[in-house]
Amino acid sequence: MKNIIAEALDAAAIAGATYADARVVETREQELSVRTGRVDAIGSSESLGLGIRVIADGAWGFAATADMSGDGIGTAAREAVALARAAATSLREPVRLAPVDAYRDTWNGPCEIDPFTVPVDDKLAILLAADEALRAEAAVRVSAARMAFLGVHKMFGSSEGSLIEQSYTESQAGIVAYAIGEGEMLPRSYPNSHGGQAVQGGWEAVLALDIAGHAPRVGEQAAALLSADSCPSETTTVIIDGSQVALQVHESIGHPTELDRVLGDEAAFAGTSWVGLEDLGTLKYGSEKVTVTADATVPGSLGSFGWDDEGVPAQRDFLIRDGILTGFQSSRESALTIGRTSNGCMRADGWNRQPLVRMTTISLEPGTWGFDELVADTDDGIYVETNNSWSIDDRRLNFQFACEIGWEIKGGKLGRMIKNPNYTGITPEFWGSCDAVCSPKHWQVWGIPNCGKGEPMQVAHVAHGAAPARFRNVRMGVGR
Amino acid sequence: MRLSLEDARTLADRAAHVTPADAAEAVVTSSASALTRFAGNRIHQNVAESDTHLSIRAVLGTRTGVASTNRLDDDALVRCAAAAVEAARHAPEDPDFPGLPEAQPVSVADRVNPATLGYDADRRAEAARAIIGQSEARGLTAAGTVAVNDYAVAIASTQGVDAAMEAGDLRATVLSMGGHGGNGWASFLGADAASFAPAALGGRAARTAERSEDPVSLEPGGYTVVLAPEAVADIVDFLGYVGFSGKAFAEGGSFLCDALGTSIMDGRISIYDDALAPGTVGISFDYEGQPKHRTPLIEGGVAVGPVTDSYYAHRLSLPNTGHALPAPNPYGPIALNLEMAAGDASVEDMVASVERGIYVTRFHYVNVEDPMKVVLTGMTRDGTFLIEDGQLTSAVRNQRFTQGALEALSHVRSVGAQRSLIGPGEGGATLVPALLLERWEFTGETG
pLDDT digits (tens, 9 = 90+) for B369-412: 999 999 999 999 999 999 999 999 999 999 999 999 999 999 99
User: What are A462's strand-pairing partners?
Assistant: A448
CA pair distance B142, B135, nearest whole angstrom: 6
For residue B146, what is the nearest residue in chain A, using CA coordinates? A455
B146 shares its domain with B272: no
Say yes or no to pLDDT of B427 above 80.
Answer: no
Q: Which of A45, A82, A389 sits opposite B69 (nearest CB)?
A: A45
Q: Which of B91, B128, B445 sits opposite A398 (nearest CB)?
A: B445
B99 shares its domain with B129: yes
B175 shares its domain with B268: no
| CATH at B169 | 3.30.2290.10
CA pair distance A153, A24, nearest whole angstrom: 8
pLDDT at B375: 96
The chain-wide mean pLDDT, for chain B, equals 96
B137 shares its domain with B232: no
Q: Work out the average pLDDT over B160-187.
A: 96
Name every residue whose Cβ is closer than 8 Å to that of residue B364 and which is 6 or more positions away in sequence: A271, A393, A394, B378, B379, B380, B381, B382, B398
SS (H, E, C) B58-123: EEECCEEEEEEECCCCHHHHHHHHHHHHHHHHHCCCCCCCCCCCCCCCCCCCCECCHHHHCCCHHH
Query: Are B45 and A267 in contact (CB < 8 Å)?
Result: no
Query: Are B251 and A265 in contact (CB < 8 Å)?
Result: no
Query: Are B400 and A393 in contact (CB < 8 Å)?
Result: yes
Q: Which of A60, A267, A478 sits opposite B46 (nearest CB)?
A: A60
B305 shares its domain with B367: yes
Tell which phi-psi region holds residue A199, choosing left (phi > 0), alpha (psi between -120 and 50) or beta. beta
Confidence of residue B426 (pLDDT cuts 50, 70, 90): low
Q: What is the CATH number of domain A2-227?
A: 3.30.2290.10
B138 shares its domain with B273: no
Domain boundary among B207, B237, B263: B207
pLDDT at B15: 97
Contact indicator for A419, A439 with CB cutoff of 8 Å: no
Q: Which of A66, A185, A392 sits opposite B371 (nearest CB)?
A: A185
Say yes or no to pLDDT of A479 above 90.
Answer: no
Q: Which domain holds residue B251?
A: 215-447
Domain boundary among B188, B207, B226: B207
Say yes or no to pLDDT of B86 above 70.
Answer: yes
Query: Are A64 and B381 in contact (CB < 8 Å)?
Result: no
Domain ranges of chain A: 2-227, 230-476
Q: How many independent structural domains does chain B possess?
A: 2
B309 shares its domain with B190: no
| A129 contacts on B by Cβ (under 8 Å) | none
* Of B240, B110, B188, the residue nearest B422 (C-alpha): B188
Say yes or no to pLDDT of A48 above 80.
Answer: yes
* Of B117, B119, B150, B145, the residue nearest B201 (C-alpha): B145
Query: Are B48 and A455 in contact (CB < 8 Å)?
Result: no
The chain-wide mean pLDDT, for chain A, equals 97
Percent over 70 (pLDDT), chain B: 99
For residue A479, what is the nearest residue in chain B, using CA coordinates? B402
Confidence of residue B425 (pLDDT cuts 50, 70, 90): low
Cα distances (Å, whole numbers) of residue B296 to A96, B257, B293, B301, B341: 55, 16, 9, 11, 11
Query: Are B372 and A184 in contact (CB < 8 Å)?
Result: yes
B231 shares its domain with B310: yes
Q: Which of B90, B144, B375 sits opposite A479 (nearest CB)?
A: B375
CA pair distance B309, B96, nearest whole angstrom: 13
Q: Which of B42, B251, B398 sits opposite A393 (nearest CB)?
A: B398
Query: Are B328 and A391 in contact (CB < 8 Å)?
Result: no
Name every residue whose Cβ is closer than 8 Å to that of residue B363 and which is 6 or more positions away in sequence: B230, B231, B234, B378, B379, B380, B381, B401
Cα distances (Å, whole numbers) of residue B147 to A309, B45, B342, B368, B402: 24, 11, 28, 29, 33
Is ipTM strictly over 0.90? Answer: yes
Contact indicator for B187, B130 with CB cutoff of 8 Å: no
Say yes or no to pLDDT of B1 above 90.
Answer: no
| A84 contacts on B by Cβ (under 8 Å) | 46
Q: Work out the average pLDDT over A280-308.
A: 98
Is residue A14 less than 8 Å (CB to CB) from chain B? no
Q: Which of A93, A391, A394, A458 to mutate to test the interface with B (most CBs of B within 10 A)?
A: A391
B85 shares its domain with B227: no
B201 shares its domain with B242: no
Span B201-247, pLDDT tens digits:
999 999 999 999 999 999 999 999 999 999 999 999 999 999 999 99
Binding-face residues of A in 363-382 toward B, CB within 8 A: none
Q: Work out the average pLDDT over B56-77.
A: 96
For residue A355, what is the nearest residue in chain B, using CA coordinates? B45
B79 shares its domain with B52: yes
| B447 contacts on A by Cβ (under 8 Å) | 274, 397-398, 426-429
- pTM for this one? 0.96
Span A145-189, pLDDT tens digits:
999 999 999 999 999 999 999 999 999 999 999 999 988 999 999
Q: Work out the average pLDDT over B175-189.
A: 96
Query: Are A398 and B70 in contact (CB < 8 Å)?
Result: no
CA pair distance A292, A399, nearest whole angstrom: 19
pLDDT at A396: 97
B176 shares its domain with B286: no
